[in-house]
């Protein structure tokens, strides 16, 4: 279901009270006013290679769309080549549009943390350079609170043997990447998997977390045919 259709469906949803009962009828001659639906929200993350980030979040329950792009820098409309120089200040990132009635930001954070190496300061896995560092770009105070809270919980768990260096910073302008980067794992599955395996991403994730939560069931099923 696309974002436009989802939003339209939310607009015509019935009004319920906090207890779950129907709201009291409006006075005669006056139409009842529907409660405002919750609009789709954004979650923006840098997980190193945005091809991998996009494949990880697409198909998750409540996720409407995932876009690869660049954020955190100073240059307007940067290109892949410019960001790759490490001089624009941008990070390879993904922007996740999600329905907060079907999933939570806390759940998205859990997926994020378990698909990065939070202790690596020079990039992610085999990709080295400032543009590949892991970052949470929060949208508003509540996202910031949850990001910091989950960071503290992970550090206190003792699971990681080194300090967390993942940055938690305010979201800024997000620039979608070039078309050939969007859905790269679907367009070029063999090249995507060659890159991912060659980079040692999954081996390191399993070493860090003791488990893998890489793909949604639908994306995992697509790769079963390889």
Would you please indicate which residues are annotated as catalytic (active-site) residues?
49
CA distance 162 to 13: 48
CA distance 175 to 71: 6
The pairing of strands 91-98 and 127-128 is unpaired
**DSSP letter assigned to residue 16:** B
Chain centroid to CA 37: how far? 22
CA distance 166 to 131: 13
Looking up tokens 């079963």 gives 224
The answer to whether 166 and 134 are in contact (CB under 8 A) is: yes
The torsion angle over the Cα atoms of residues 180, 186, 187 and 191, rounded to 10 degrees, is 100
């Amino acid at each position: 279901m696309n974002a436009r259709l989802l939003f339209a469906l939310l607009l015509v949803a019935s009004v319920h009270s906090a207890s779950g009962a129907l709201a009291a009828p409006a006075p005669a001659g006056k139409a009842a006013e529907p409660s405002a639906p919750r609009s789709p929200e954004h979650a923006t993350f840098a997980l190193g290679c945005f091809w991998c980030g996009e494949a990880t979040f697409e198909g998750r329950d409540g996720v409407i769309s995932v876009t690869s792009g660049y954020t955190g820098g100073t240059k307007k409309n940067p290109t892949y080549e410019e960001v790759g120089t490490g001089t624009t200040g941008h990070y390879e990132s993904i922007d996740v549009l999600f329905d907060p009635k079907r999933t939570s930001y806390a759940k998205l954070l859990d997926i994020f943390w378990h698909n990065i190496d939070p202790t690596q300061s020079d990039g992610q896995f085999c990709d080295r350079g400032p543009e590949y560092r892991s970052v949470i770009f929060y949208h508003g105070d509540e996202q910031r609170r949850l990001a910091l809270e989950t960071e503290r919980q992970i550090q206190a768990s003792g699971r990681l043997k080194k300090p967390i260096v993942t940055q938690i910073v305010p979201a800024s302008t997000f620039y979608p990447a070039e078309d050939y980067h969007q859905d790269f794992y679907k367009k070029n599955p063999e090249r995507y998997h060659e890159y991912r395996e060659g980079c040692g991403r999954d081996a390191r994730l399993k070493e860090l977390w003791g488990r893998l939560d890489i793909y949604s069931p639908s994306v995992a099923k697509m790769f079963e045919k390889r």
